[in-house]
Structure formats: structure tokens, C-alpha cells
Structure 1
Amino acid sequence: MSDDEQAIRELVETWMGATKAGDAETVLGLMSDDVVFMVPGAEPFGKEAFAAALKGMGMMTIEGRSDIHELAVLGDIAYLRNQIEMTATAPDGKATRRSGWTLTILRKGPDGRWRLSRDANLLTTQSGAP
């Protein structure tokens, strides 16, 4: 595995860990300023809207698992195909489970760090959530 592939895998692990810890600052630092997210049923949105959504989650806790199925580095651009499962639990104990695939494009910045640049998130809500 190349250093770049390892760095991208570490970025995904850091994202998942920071999300679980409620560390919005770390999550936001893992994406480019011009990031674009695409999710079903909504217009594409950027970093500012993502940050607002994180803030709106309040005291919700998130547990998740990521399984990278494909990762390719093409110079300073990379993509990954990732299967994600996550459960968001509200303070009252009500949980929502979502799972599905993402297709993510990353760019390597002038500082040598990889950042998420584009993300097509196809997660859907699953029935039978805990």
C-alpha cells in the first residue's frame, strides 16, 4: 500500500472517530473549502451547510462503520468507494440507522494533506433500527 493510500485510509478513520466523538472541528478540517456533498432528495451543498447540519445535531451520538471497497490514487486526485453503516441516537434514546454506499473524490493539497472534495452519499434509512 502506498503512503497516499495509507493517508486516505487514515483520513476515513479519523473522520469516523471524530464524528463519534462529536468533534466537528476535526471533521471540517478533513474537507476542502470548496467541498460538495450530494445526497438523495436534496440539492448539492457545501462546507457551510455541512457545518450547520453538524451543529443542528446537538447532543446526538453517532456510531459508525466504514468499509472501503475500492481506493485509487491518480496523482493529486483520488477516489474511494465506501460502504458505511451508522446509527444516530438522540438523547431520548431514539435511534436512526442508515447504511449504503459513498463515492468520494479527494484532493491532495499543497501542504501534502488529503481532503475530501466531492462526496456522493447514498445512505438510506434502514428499518428495524435499534
Structure 2
Amino acid sequence: MTEDERAIRQVVATWMQASQSGDTATVLSLMTEDVVFMVPGQEPFGREGFEAAASQPSAARPQIDGTNDIVEIQILGSWAFTRNRIDLNITPPTGEPVRRTGCTLTLFRREADGRWKLARDANLLMEKS
């Protein structure tokens, strides 16, 4: 495993840990300024949209638990992509847990400081019963 692959795997692991603990600041530090997220049923959105959704008071945020398994990593210069299989249980503050599972295709970019950050994400998670 190369140093770049280890660094990208660490970004994915840190993202999951921070998401599960509600650490929005850490999640934001792992994405580029021009990040784009694509999810089913919505227009693509960027960092501001992500931050707005994540800035709810902690009592209003859903609890997230699950796994993010990297199926493939390809590194192409200062860009890389991963294909991931994600399985999440999302429990809203009021309501029943929802299970979402599926795949993502994520592009990472090595920034000027050498750190890999999430730049584009196509999330194909679907609700499962």
C-alpha cells in the first residue's frame, strides 16, 4: 500500500468517525472549498449546503452508525477516486432508525499542502428495510 493510499484511507476513516460523533468541523476540514455532493433526488450542492445541513443543533441532528468499506482506490497524479460500499443506520432525534445502504464514487484531490481532501462525491445510498 502506498503512502497516498494510506492517506486516502485515513480521510475516509476520519470522515466516518467524525460523522458518527457529530464533529462537523473535522468533516469540513476533510473537503475542498469547491466540493460537490450528488445525492439521489436533489440538485448537486457544495460546501455551503453541506455546512447548512450539518449546522443543526446537536439535539436536532441524527445519530449515525455504520460502515464505509473501500472497494477500490485508484490514484492518478493529484487526483484519486474510491468506490465504497456504505451501510448506515441513521436515527433521527424523533423517529425510527432508517437504514441506508449502497455505493459511492468519491474523487479526492491532493491540495497544495500535500493533504488529500474529498472534492466530489456521488452518493447512491438507498433506504433499506
TM-score, scaled to structure 2? 0.94
Q: 2:108 aligns with which of 94, 106, 109?
A: 106
How far has the Cα of 1:61 moved from its partner? 1.0
Which letter does structure 2 place at the counterpart of 1:41? G
Gaps of 5+ in 1: none
Find out whether 1:65 has 2:54 as its counterpart. no
Report the secondary structure of 2:16's partner residue.
Answer: helix
Report the secondary structure of 1:14's partner residue.
Answer: helix
Match of residue 6 from structure 1: 6
Match of residue 29 from structure 2: 29
How far has the Cα of 1:89 moved from its partner? 1.0
Report the secondary structure of 2:90's partner residue.
Answer: strand
Alpha-carbon distance in 1 for matches of 2:46, 2:93: 27
Which letter does structure 1 place at the counterpart of 2:27? V
Gaps of 5+ in 2: none
Percent identity, aligned pairs only? 53
TM-score, scaled to structure 1? 0.93
How far has the Cα of 1:55 moved from its partner? 2.1
Alpha-carbon distance in 2 for matches of 1:117, 1:72: 15
Alignment CA distance shift 1:93-1:42 (3 Å): closer
How far has the Cα of 1:116 moved from its partner? 0.3
Match of residue 15 from structure 1: 15
How far has the Cα of 1:92 moved from its partner? 3.9
**Cα RMSD (Å) of the superposition?**
1.2
Runs of 4+ in 1 over 3 A off after TM superposition: none
